[in-house]
Protein backbone atom coordinates (compact mmCIF):
# COMPACT_ATOMS: atom_id res chain seq x y z
CA UNK A 1 0.00 0.00 0.00
CA UNK A 2 1.25 3.52 -0.84
CA UNK A 3 0.76 6.51 1.49
CA UNK A 4 1.01 10.26 0.88
CA UNK A 5 2.67 12.52 3.47
CA UNK A 6 1.55 15.79 1.84
CA UNK A 7 -1.90 15.14 0.39
CA UNK A 8 -2.61 13.96 -3.13
CA UNK A 9 -0.07 16.35 -4.60
CA UNK A 10 2.65 15.30 -2.18
CA UNK A 11 5.15 12.46 -2.22
CA UNK A 12 3.90 8.88 -2.07
CA UNK A 13 5.71 6.00 -0.46
CA UNK A 14 5.07 2.27 -0.38
CA UNK A 15 3.93 -0.28 -2.97
CA UNK A 16 1.22 -0.25 -5.60
CA UNK A 17 0.88 -3.71 -7.12
CA UNK A 18 4.30 -4.58 -8.54
CA UNK A 19 5.49 -0.94 -8.27
CA UNK A 20 7.53 0.51 -5.39
CA UNK A 21 7.32 4.26 -4.69
CA UNK A 22 9.83 6.02 -2.43
CA UNK A 23 11.61 9.33 -1.85
CA UNK A 24 15.23 9.91 -2.82
CA UNK A 25 16.93 13.33 -2.55
CA UNK A 26 13.56 15.02 -2.26
CA UNK A 27 12.18 13.40 -5.39
CA UNK A 28 9.63 10.65 -5.86
CA UNK A 29 11.15 7.51 -7.39
CA UNK A 30 9.05 4.74 -8.95
CA UNK A 31 10.45 1.31 -9.79
CA UNK A 32 9.20 -2.25 -10.21
CA UNK A 33 9.41 -4.65 -7.32
CA UNK A 34 12.34 -7.07 -7.51
CA UNK A 35 11.29 -10.56 -8.54
CA UNK A 36 11.72 -13.31 -5.99
CA UNK A 37 14.46 -15.67 -7.04
CA UNK A 38 13.50 -19.30 -6.79
CA UNK A 39 15.94 -21.69 -5.27
CA UNK A 40 17.57 -24.00 -7.77
CA UNK A 41 16.27 -27.56 -7.66
CA UNK A 42 18.65 -30.09 -6.19
CA UNK A 43 18.91 -33.83 -5.81
CA UNK A 44 15.91 -35.89 -6.87
CA UNK A 45 13.85 -32.81 -7.77
CA UNK A 46 16.56 -31.61 -10.19
CA UNK A 47 16.81 -35.13 -11.60
CA UNK A 48 13.07 -35.29 -12.32
CA UNK A 49 13.07 -31.79 -13.86
CA UNK A 50 15.90 -32.74 -16.22
CA UNK A 51 14.18 -36.01 -17.13
CA UNK A 52 10.88 -34.24 -17.79
CA UNK A 53 12.64 -31.75 -20.08
CA UNK A 54 14.33 -34.52 -22.08
CA UNK A 55 11.11 -36.53 -22.44
CA UNK A 56 9.24 -33.40 -23.55
CA UNK A 57 11.89 -32.63 -26.17
CA UNK A 58 11.63 -36.15 -27.60
CA UNK A 59 7.81 -36.07 -27.66
CA UNK A 60 7.71 -32.63 -29.31
CA UNK A 61 10.06 -33.77 -32.06
CA UNK A 62 7.98 -36.93 -32.65
CA UNK A 63 4.59 -35.15 -32.50
CA UNK A 64 3.46 -36.18 -36.02
CA UNK A 65 3.99 -39.86 -35.15
CA UNK A 66 2.29 -39.48 -31.75
CA UNK A 67 -0.97 -38.53 -33.49
CA UNK A 68 -1.07 -42.15 -34.64
CA UNK A 69 0.79 -43.82 -31.78
CA UNK A 70 -1.39 -42.27 -29.07
CA UNK A 71 -4.52 -41.54 -31.10
CA UNK A 72 -6.84 -43.76 -29.09
CA UNK A 73 -6.45 -42.07 -25.70
CA UNK A 74 -9.79 -40.74 -24.45
CA UNK A 75 -10.01 -37.31 -22.84
CA UNK A 76 -6.40 -36.31 -23.52
CA UNK A 77 -4.39 -35.15 -26.51
CA UNK A 78 -1.93 -37.58 -28.07
CA UNK A 79 0.98 -35.43 -26.89
CA UNK A 80 -0.12 -35.25 -23.25
CA UNK A 81 -0.96 -38.97 -23.22
CA UNK A 82 2.52 -39.72 -24.52
CA UNK A 83 4.12 -37.46 -21.92
CA UNK A 84 2.19 -39.13 -19.10
CA UNK A 85 3.00 -42.67 -20.29
CA UNK A 86 6.70 -41.94 -20.69
CA UNK A 87 7.13 -40.12 -17.39
CA UNK A 88 5.49 -43.10 -15.68
CA UNK A 89 8.01 -45.41 -17.37
CA UNK A 90 10.90 -43.15 -16.33
CA UNK A 91 9.73 -43.01 -12.73
CA UNK A 92 11.96 -45.88 -11.63
CA UNK A 93 14.97 -44.75 -13.65
CA UNK A 94 17.94 -42.86 -12.21
CA UNK A 95 18.39 -40.97 -15.46
CA UNK A 96 16.78 -40.43 -18.85
CA UNK A 97 16.93 -43.47 -21.13
CA UNK A 98 16.12 -43.73 -24.85
CA UNK A 99 15.57 -47.43 -24.27
CA UNK A 100 12.56 -46.65 -22.05
CA UNK A 101 10.86 -44.23 -24.44
CA UNK A 102 7.68 -45.31 -26.23
CA UNK A 103 6.07 -43.50 -29.16
CA UNK A 104 2.91 -45.60 -29.43
CA UNK A 105 0.61 -47.19 -26.87
CA UNK A 106 -1.02 -50.57 -27.35
CA UNK A 107 -0.42 -54.29 -26.98
CA UNK A 108 3.16 -55.24 -26.20
CA UNK A 109 5.26 -56.83 -28.94
CA UNK A 110 6.73 -60.25 -28.33
CA UNK A 111 9.71 -60.12 -30.68
CA UNK A 112 13.17 -61.50 -30.07
CA UNK A 113 16.56 -61.23 -31.73
CA UNK A 114 15.80 -57.89 -33.38
CA UNK A 115 18.75 -56.81 -35.52
CA UNK A 116 19.35 -53.56 -37.36
CA UNK A 117 21.77 -52.33 -39.98
CA UNK A 118 22.14 -49.24 -42.17
CA UNK A 119 23.66 -49.91 -45.59
CA UNK A 120 25.81 -47.56 -47.64
CA UNK A 121 22.72 -46.16 -49.34
CA UNK A 122 21.31 -44.94 -45.99
CA UNK A 123 18.67 -47.67 -45.93
CA UNK A 124 17.74 -48.95 -42.49
CA UNK A 125 16.88 -52.65 -42.33
CA UNK A 126 15.40 -54.57 -39.39
CA UNK A 127 14.91 -58.30 -38.84
CA UNK A 128 13.35 -60.16 -35.93
CA UNK A 129 11.80 -63.44 -34.83
CA UNK A 130 8.21 -64.11 -33.75
CA UNK A 131 6.76 -67.50 -32.88
CA UNK A 132 3.26 -66.51 -34.09
CA UNK A 133 4.31 -64.68 -37.25
CA UNK A 134 2.11 -66.90 -39.44
CA UNK A 135 -1.11 -66.12 -37.57
CA UNK A 136 -3.94 -64.55 -39.58
CA UNK A 137 -3.90 -61.37 -37.50
CA UNK A 138 -0.20 -60.78 -38.06
CA UNK A 139 -0.52 -61.21 -41.83
CA UNK A 140 -2.64 -58.06 -42.03
CA UNK A 141 -0.29 -55.88 -40.01
CA UNK A 142 2.56 -53.79 -41.35
CA UNK A 143 5.73 -52.58 -39.66
CA UNK A 144 6.12 -48.99 -38.49
CA UNK A 145 9.64 -47.67 -37.94
CA UNK A 146 10.51 -44.44 -36.14
CA UNK A 147 14.05 -43.08 -36.17
CA UNK A 148 14.86 -40.42 -33.58
CA UNK A 149 17.89 -38.41 -34.69
CA UNK A 150 19.41 -37.10 -31.47
CA UNK A 151 22.16 -35.17 -33.26
CA UNK A 152 19.90 -33.21 -35.61
CA UNK A 153 16.91 -33.17 -33.24
CA UNK A 154 14.33 -34.51 -35.69
CA UNK A 155 12.68 -37.81 -36.52
CA UNK A 156 11.85 -39.85 -39.61
CA UNK A 157 9.26 -42.59 -39.76
CA UNK A 158 7.38 -44.94 -42.04
CA UNK A 159 4.06 -46.68 -41.42
CA UNK A 160 4.25 -49.29 -44.17
CA UNK A 161 7.81 -50.57 -43.93
CA UNK A 162 7.03 -54.23 -44.61
CA UNK A 163 4.65 -57.00 -43.63
CA UNK A 164 4.87 -58.12 -40.02
CA UNK A 165 4.59 -61.75 -41.15
CA UNK A 166 7.82 -61.41 -43.18
CA UNK A 167 9.69 -60.57 -39.96
CA UNK A 168 11.69 -57.85 -41.67
CA UNK A 169 11.22 -54.16 -42.41
CA UNK A 170 13.14 -51.33 -44.04
CA UNK A 171 13.10 -47.53 -44.18
CA UNK A 172 15.04 -45.27 -46.52
CA UNK A 173 16.53 -42.49 -44.41
CA UNK A 174 16.42 -39.09 -46.09
CA UNK A 175 18.13 -36.79 -43.62
CA UNK A 176 20.54 -38.89 -41.55
CA UNK A 177 24.21 -38.04 -41.96
CA UNK A 178 27.38 -39.90 -41.07
CA UNK A 179 28.06 -39.57 -37.35
CA UNK A 180 24.44 -38.87 -36.35
CA UNK A 181 23.24 -40.64 -33.19
CA UNK A 182 20.07 -42.54 -34.16
CA UNK A 183 17.61 -44.34 -31.89
CA UNK A 184 15.38 -46.89 -33.63
CA UNK A 185 11.84 -47.93 -32.61
CA UNK A 186 9.51 -50.56 -34.07
CA UNK A 187 5.73 -51.03 -33.86
CA UNK A 188 3.04 -52.86 -35.85
CA UNK A 189 -0.27 -51.53 -37.12
CA UNK A 190 -3.19 -52.35 -39.40
CA UNK A 191 -2.15 -49.90 -42.11
CA UNK A 192 -4.89 -50.72 -44.65
CA UNK A 193 -7.67 -50.33 -42.08
CA UNK A 194 -6.14 -47.05 -40.93
CA UNK A 195 -6.34 -45.66 -44.47
CA UNK A 196 -9.97 -46.68 -44.87
CA UNK A 197 -11.50 -45.96 -41.47
CA UNK A 198 -8.94 -43.63 -39.81
CA UNK A 199 -8.90 -46.00 -36.83
CA UNK A 200 -5.40 -46.37 -35.51
CA UNK A 201 -4.78 -49.89 -34.26
CA UNK A 202 -1.12 -49.98 -33.25
CA UNK A 203 1.09 -51.92 -30.84
CA UNK A 204 3.33 -50.39 -28.21
CA UNK A 205 6.61 -49.34 -29.79
CA UNK A 206 9.84 -51.00 -28.72
CA UNK A 207 13.36 -49.63 -28.74
CA UNK A 208 15.35 -51.69 -31.23
CA UNK A 209 18.72 -50.11 -30.60
CA UNK A 210 20.94 -47.10 -31.17
CA UNK A 211 23.42 -46.61 -33.97
CA UNK A 212 25.82 -43.92 -35.16
**Percentage of the chain surpassing pLDDT 90?**
41
Q: Which of 4, 107, 95, 79 is nearest to 46 (CA)?
A: 95
Task: With cut-offs at 50, 70 and 90, classify the pLDDT of residue 6.
Answer: low
Q: What's domain 44-211's architecture?
A: Sandwich (2.60)
Between 51 and 3, residue with greater pLDDT: 51
Tell me the pLDDT tens digit for each residue of 114-155.
899 988 889 999 999 887 666 666 667 899 999 999 999 999
68 φ, ψ (degrees, to nearest 5): -100, -45
Q: What is the predicted pLDDT for the residue at 2?
A: 47
pTM for the structure as a whole: 0.75
Please name the residues in contact with 101: beta carbons below 8 A apart, sequence gap of 6 or more: 55, 58, 86, 89, 148, 183, 185, 207
Average pLDDT, the chain: 82
Name the segment(s) of the chain with CATH classification 2.60.40.10: 44-211
Tell me the pLDDT tens digit for each residue of 74-124.
667 899 999 999 999 988 888 888 999 999 988 888 877 889 998 888 999
Q: What is the predicted pLDDT for the residue at 58?
A: 95
Instruction: Give the count of alpha carbons within 13 A of 112, CB side only.
Output: 3
Amino acid sequence: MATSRKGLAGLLSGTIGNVVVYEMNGKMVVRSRPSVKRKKAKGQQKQMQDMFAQVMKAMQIAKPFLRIGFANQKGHSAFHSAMSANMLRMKTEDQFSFEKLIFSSGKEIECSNISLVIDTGNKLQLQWHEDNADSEAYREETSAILVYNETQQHCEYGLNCGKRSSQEASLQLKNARSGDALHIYLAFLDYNNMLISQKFSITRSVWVGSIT
